[in-house]
Chains A and B, each alone.
Chain A
Amino acid sequence: EPEVTQTPSHQVTQMGQEVILRCVPISNHLYFYWYRQILGQKVEFLVSFYNNEISEKSEIFDDQFSVERPDGSNFTLKIRSTKLEDSAMYFCASTYDSYEQYFGPGTRLTVT
C-alpha cells in the first residue's frame, strides 16, 4: 500500500540554524500539507500546497518558513532560522481528492 514517507525521523539543530524537512507524498496525490504537533498538544496546520503554490497558511507559517516541491516528488519544509519554540513533531500529509489526508510518520525536530 502506498504511503507518505518523511526524512529524517529525528533532527537535532542549534537555534538559528536552517533545517529542511523532507517528505515524499503518495505519487498521484495533488494536495500537500504540513502540520506540527508540539509535545503534549494538538496537531496544528501550517501550510497547504496545490498546483505548485501555497493555497493556505496559518499564522504560525511566518517568513521563517517556506515550502517547495522541487522535482515533482519531494515536498520540503524549510525553517530558515530555528527557534527553541520550533521544537515539535512535523507531519507531512497528502491527498488526492482533498478529503482523506494520508500522514507520514513525522520528523521530530529538536532545537537546542
Chain B
Amino acid sequence: AQSVAQPEDQVNVAEGNPLTVKCTYSVSGNPYLFWYVQYPNRGLQFLLKYITGDNLVKGSYGFEAEFNKSQTSFHLKKPSALVSDSALYFCAVIYNQGGKLIFGQGTELSVKP
C-alpha cells in the first residue's frame, strides 16, 4: 500500500542547532515528495518538493531535504534551528499526476531558546 511514515512524533532541538525531521515512503512507481508545515490553527504551508533532478532540494525559510532512493527517505533538515520553526511538519507523497497527497502522521518540532 502507498504510505508515508514519520517515525518521530516529536523532535526537540535547541535554537542554533541543526535539525532533522525524518520521513520514509513506500516504493510504488515514481513518487513526488513534499514537506508541509502547519502552525497552530493555521492551514498547511508548502515548504519544498522533490519532483526530479538534484536529490538535494532547497525550500522556504532555510529548509532543505534530501531524496534518497535507496533508503526511500526524504528527511527535512535545517542547519540552524530558530524558535519560530516550532510547528507541526508533514511529509507527503503523490504517486501520479493530479493525484492525492498521502500524508505522514506529522512530527511536532519544538525549538527551545
B22-74: which have CB < 8 Å to A? 32, 34, 36, 42-46, 49, 51
Q: Please, how many angstroms separate the alpha-carbon atoms of A53 and B89 in the complex?
A: 31
How many A residues touch B, CB cutoff 8 Å? Answer: 25
Q: How far, in whole Å, are A22 and B83 apart by their CA atoms in the complex?
A: 34
* Known contacts A91-B43, A100-B34, A100-B49; is-contact A42 B101 (Cβ 8 Å): no
Count how many chain B residues have C-beta atoms less than 8 Å from C-beta atoms of the other chain: 23
From DSSP, what is the main secondary structure of chain A's interface residues?
strand
Contact B90 A105 (CB under 8 A): no
20 contacts across the A-B interface (CB closer than 8 A): A31-B98, A33-B100, A33-B101, A42-B90, A42-B104, A42-B105, A42-B106, A43-B92, A55-B98, A56-B99, A91-B43, A98-B97, A99-B32, A99-B51, A99-B94, A99-B97, A100-B34, A100-B46, A100-B49, A103-B45
Chain B residues at the A interface, C-beta cutoff of 8 Å: 32, 34, 36, 42-46, 49, 51, 90, 92, 94, 97-106
